[in-house]
Structure 1
């Protein structure tokens, strides 16, 4: 299970770890921390060091475990992991990935599902710090994988020690440590760990990249060099993002109903790279998707926006993009969610909030006896119900197609509430106290972007 490590490497001490973590603040006086744990060497050592740190701070630590149900032995491994966590008196929560599994890009999609599960739980439980166990070796492998795909500055820039995703701070304190030191530390602690068989499966590109790194190392292309290159590109990425943020502040308006208006005149004056990144961020913001559109599709959209065409409509990344006919002199472009692509339905537990369509934080305080309440898109049928009781909603300033994609609260086929239209249905069997839906895009368009209230 374990390989021998030369004594040249020293173990990671709790004081060294605490010193690194002190740079990841600020933390609350009694911090609540979540950490993703698989049972592998990296995440297991991370949770053990975090437990020592949290206890000294009188805080609380929760280990989050995801069973992807991709291997027959995964449940047995989780049972072992739970016993280890109990031994160290660490609280844990287990999630299960159910449903149909992908046949391609398995590891990539599994990582995405895992991150979504972890960040959703943190958000719903008011925890803003999520620690992940990516290390220096992971950084180097990710760089080489993205290099093989022809990635640009964004893809090749380093994983940041601190980043924000869906309003949760992602902390990666192990980016300062290589795999060998991590394993040595566990050996010194006499703590076993779980080896994932997929880490030796050469059907996965990451494993093949890992296997050739020793050859690259002989040519001087080692972890430190690759990491330094990523950091250098990270600075270039930061400069681009700063310009994207400035362009967004000048040319973008975000509306609480989940749509965006782009002022084309100011947009066209920016360099192509900045325009493309802003378009990517707008589409991710409006669609709720966690990955950007393909570059060739962004370039095609950019060419249309830079052309002399005044009226056009397009669909990209589950968004509809149209010119606003009433604003032709101002060249305004509207981006809104494609209603047909919204499939999300979320059961609403009374008094608790949920993330719907990966875009809105929805909550309600509605009681109906023996009836399940859920959140779904309004749609044409729902809008008809609104107009039946509230005719003035048809003349509101919200564009018609945007209304169709609004979050709404339902009981069966009966519409109860549409917060953005100030609509709620009163009935004898309904106890209606409150409902709300706040647009919470996971992708920021810049701190100074105009939000229209």
Structure 2
């Protein structure tokens, strides 16, 4: 296919990509380590299950592929083509040819940007969603990504430049779930140069994305900063180790938040009730993290609210004032704070009865005349509340009911489970993740 990189020589371009270069020092320094053993240990039980691999053709992902094949894993490969570079299609074809030679199934997953929002964020989200959908369809248990120790260090510096807190500076997770699929990062204990040395020792080639040299990208600037720090004796491994210690700090904080949630929080049919006095007595950071988790769960948010906005929300809570944040409404009363979904945030949000509504609610009930095809779920709202006889007797507060899931047929209310209306219909709210899951149910 091409000449191979050896020592300080270069790898000629394959499929239109830039050439890769590996020097003797960085590539061969750590070859005494058994990278295969490190990889298998990081995979753990996943090594014995059908495993998906995200392979772009770069050095990290090519090493991921060959390590998995050498380990005897049952794998399938996907390459995401974002359509952002002319060379991408040829590089995906090169990965397909490599996989064919190895007897490994391969798919190209295409995505095209619609021009809206932040390109990098949109591409990242699309990549994870495409991979998750592909993996589920292929019957895979998890998808492995080729992130390395260098990626951990670079991410740390990028977030440090954005004044990130403990969560931002903590190392990326070795295991996480996205769109219902488990994603693994089994190479985070291995350096990028170390992987390339491993590839060279086996006579294997790879392609480097030319954007890896474009200083317009924050990651490239972080990579160069790490290279510059090497003269001062600071390497990617040390920065990654610091990120790992920040992960330990985050876990310790999460433990304290879970203890606080168990003591002063209650879950009530999708709402959270907090004891005002208990909230005031919490250490500042624990209080902030608990409130952030509450808002993220009720608001079905992927990211927490901005720091200044969260601080204003917390100040209102401590002063016993009503406030809104992130699609959530906080109402004080009798020494407690009830945080519920804000009606405005779900107005117009509608889905079929077999789908999850507002990211948290699943509604089930009997078939009507053998057919539920005309039914939808949307917020109860003022219109729905007006159709309920004796709504004033409902045990849920009015503001909570307004934003609660209801079953509709056109403009006619069929059921409002949280208001006790609609025989045989029920609404179940997904439980919170993380520390907030320690909060008990209200009785």
TM-score range, shorter chain: 0.7 to 0.9
Which residue number corresponds to residue 335 of structure 1? 339
Counterpart Cα distance in 2 of 1:181 and 1:417: 60
Find out whether 1:291 has 2:289 as its counterpart.
no
**Unaligned stretches of 5+ residues in structure 2:** 1-18
Return the offset for 1:135.
Answer: 0.7
Contact 1:375–1:407 under 8 Å retained in 2: no
Query: Which residues of 2 match residues 217-232 of structure 1 at below 5 A?
Result: 217-232=230-245
When the two chains are superposed, the root-mean-square deviation of aligned CA atoms in Å is 4.0
Q: Hey, what's the Cα distance between the residues in 1 that align with 2:203 and 2:410? A: 56
Measured after TM superposition, the shift of residue 61 of structure 1 is 3.7
- Residue deviations 1:159-199 (CA, integer Å, cap 9, x gap): 24345567755422111111112223334445444433332
Counterpart-to-counterpart distance in 2, 1:260 and 1:45:
46
- Which of 202, 209, 228 in structure 1 is aligned with 2:222? 209
SS in 2 for 1:173: coil
The CA distance in 2 between the partners of 1:160 and 1:43, in whole Å, is: 18
Distance 2:94 2:257 in 1: 47
The 8 Å contact of residues 354 and 363 in structure 1, kept in 2 or not, is answered as no
Query: Match of 2:20?
Result: 2
Query: What is the Cα deviation at residue 230 of structure 1?
Result: 1.6
Aligned to 1:399: 397
Q: Structure 2 residue aligned with 1:45, among 55, 58, 63? A: 63
* 1:146 match: 159
Q: Identify the residue that residue 81 of structure 1 maps to in structure 2.
A: 95
Q: Distance in 2 between matches of 1:276 and 1:50?
A: 42
3-state SS, counterpart of residue 56 of structure 2? coil
Q: Which of the pair has more CA radius of gyration? A: 2
Do the aligned partners of 2:352 and 2:377 also contact (CA within 8 Å) in 1?
no
Q: Which moved more, 1:274-283 or 1:401-410?
A: 401-410
Task: Report the counterpart of residue 172 of structure 2 in structure 1.
Answer: 159
Contact 2:96 2:107 in 1 (8 A): no
Q: Of 303, 319, 322, which residue of structure 1 is paired with 2:328? A: 319
CA shift digits 1:217-253 (9 cap, x unpaired): 1112211221222222222222211111111111112
Q: Which residue of 1 aligns with 2:317?
A: 305
SS across alignment from 1:335: strand
1:374/1:132 CA distance change after superposition, 3 Å: farther
| Structure 1 residues without counterparts, runs of 5 or longer | 426-433
Partner of 2:249: 236
2: CA distance, partners of 1:452 / 1:378: 23
Contact 1:161 1:171 in 2 (8 A): yes
Answering whether residue 41 of structure 2 is matched by residue 22 of structure 1, we say yes
Deviations 1:79-120 (A, max 9, x none): 44344444434445655546633454x324432443355457
2:291 aligns to what?
279
Taking the aligned partners of 1:119 and 1:440, their CA distance within structure 2 comes to: 20
TM-score, normalisation: structure 1: 0.77
Map of 1:440 onto structure 2: 430
- Post-superposition offset of 1:261: 1.6
Deviations 1:107-150 (A, max 9, x none): 24432443355457768998664433221111111111111122
Partner secondary structure for residue 451 of structure 1:
coil
Q: TM-score, normalised by structure 2?
A: 0.78
Secondary structure, aligned partner of 1:315: strand
